[in-house]
Chain A
């Protein structure tokens, strides 16, 4: 009789713990997903950027340029990002990132100018210029100083906290990039024609943001329904 009671107690305890957990997990697993598609139109994209400050004090050693260095305008795909935000993402666990993106240093610029990554992503910073750079950030989400390393070498940083990470070069003041460290995998950089797609987005209501260049350019609330494709266009 005692054995039977103990068995029942264990069963109740297991049921009490596992059943709600099952529903919680099952809710996520069973949640239907939809797709967000759209197009970004930026009227000022590709416009010529101001030449960078002329380095008049580097004449004591070989330099890349004694004149005005005009920098290549970024393409849309290199400086725009769309991503979703929701309070519920903060409690959820997503599969760890599988990609290892990079921010390239070449032609006295960072490429891309904006890089979206999921928390936990390792980002490489290869130097492909024939001179030194010194990549650093003092952002709250991640502070680092990679020092100077030669052409062809790379350093990496793990971005383990969500937030906006402003990246600079200590030698070339005009160089800047932004890493958006996001707590979910629902983000995308558009193609150069502005089109983007976010797949497998769980149904729900979200804040969708367009990041362009250095800041958020536009923000709107969207509702994704399972099995449907939502069209969201940005005209900035």
Chain B
């Protein structure tokens, strides 16, 4: 299935790259990590200390002044190659500052930006709201299964990692106002980045951001998408999978001045879920906030907090949250060995609330270089 989507994208972008003036750059990171020993889903290597690595390669193809072909390749320690980005960008259409992008790219939802990559990431990994897998999968399940899934890391994420999906986007600026409108195959929580569309609906995303003064940007984004596949389990009591949607909205904030940087994001999502007896809306609120300060040249500290709060529902007459609430704190020190090379020491503490907290804290030493 993955081949069905990757090959068309590659064949779409490759002629442009061949015809273009191509320049490439990349990042390489290597780390040693030690998690607590437990069966919690975010434990790295079951708690056994391990080395790991990741390489990102960025290809910029400049076809003409206004046509770009952009591709990212990512390889990790298991030597799997991911194509995160394979898009054609048409810039400044009609000389009106309107840009159009088609292919596979990051959805305009939030302000993660290039913190996706180890060199610019203040810490290790992505915020909790991008990584934690809830108990709700992108398929039809029973209430009992939902309850049983709690804390097992088998469902959809609130925001699916780097939110790479296949679609089209129009974006641009009007003075300090920025806008982006996109449609894509998947949903914010379940991108179909390696699959063709699985239902008759597209993810519809709109984002507006404003920068009233340099260094301060506040943005809002919203998305509506069907998330159940047409050829999956049938809807109980019958019905159309396209009627069951995820509605998700977010507000984000970015501030920087001097040697201080801050990023914050709050997200609220609601899924229409077809259970055995009736449909319900499963809601979750998530947040993340991170700050970095450079004390002296080369030496910085960073801290990130994040959390998830799930809505309560009736499970056999008992009001329970549909997944365990989560809270996470991550703190790190970083030292720039060179302008393009840093070493980070990060400690991440994760708390699962409302149950016995599994031991899944993490300590990481990571080297990252850009080239």
Contact = CB atoms under 8 A, between A and B. Distances in A.
Interface of A: 50-51, 53-63, 65-68, 130-132, 136-138, 143-145, 147-151, 166, 168, 170, 173
B91 interface: yes
Contact of A147 (B87, B209, B214, B257): B257
Given A61-B178, A148-B215, A67 B339 contact: no
Chain A interface helix/strand/loop/mixed: loop
Nearest to A127: B214
Nearest to B114: A57
A51 B62 contact: yes
B91 A67 contact: yes
A167 to B, nearest CB: 10
B167 to A, nearest CB: 13
A145 B215 contact: no
B53 interface: no
Contact of A67 (B65, B176, B297): B65
B70 A56 contact: yes
Contacts of B259: 145, 147-148
Contacts of A61: 111, 178, 209, 211, 217, 219, 254
7 contacts: A56-B72, A56-B89, A59-B169, A66-B171, A67-B91, A143-B297, A144-B297
Given A59-B180, A130-B214, A138 B336 contact: yes
Interface string B328-342: 000000001011100
B177 to A, nearest CB: 7
Given A60-B110, A67-B66, A145-B259, A138 B60 contact: no
Given A57-B106, A138-B336, A138-B339, A62 B177 contact: yes
Contact of B207 (A60, A67, A150): A60
Interface of B: 21, 23, 25, 58, 60, 62, 65-66, 68, 70, 72, 85, 87, 89, 91-92, 99, 105-106, 108, 110-114, 116, 169, 171-173, 175-178, 180, 207, 209, 211, 213-215, 217, 219, 252, 254, 256-260, 294, 296-298, 336, 338-340, 370
A192 B25 CA distance: 33
Given A53-B60, A60-B219, A145 B294 contact: yes
Across the A-B interface, the 7 shortest Cβ-Cβ residue pairs: A67-B91, A147-B258, A147-B259, A145-B297, A57-B114, A62-B178, A62-B173
Contacts of A130: 214
B58 A66 contact: no
Contacts of A144: 297
Given A57-B106, A66-B91, A138-B298, A173 B258 contact: no
Contacts of B23: 50-51, 53
B221 to A, nearest CB: 9
Contacts of A143: 297-298
A159 to B, nearest CB: 14
A149 B296 CA distance: 17
A188 B162 CA distance: 50
Nearest to A168: B339
B208 to A, nearest CB: 11
A59 B68 contact: no
Nearest to B62: A68
Given A51-B62, A67-B91, A130-B214, A59 B108 contact: yes
B92 A150 contact: no
Contacts of B169: 59
A132 B62 contact: no
A148 B257 contact: yes
B58 A53 contact: yes
A145 B336 CA distance: 12
A154 to B, nearest CB: 14
A223 B211 CA distance: 59
B256 A138 contact: no
A59 B178 CA distance: 9
Contacts of A136: 297, 339
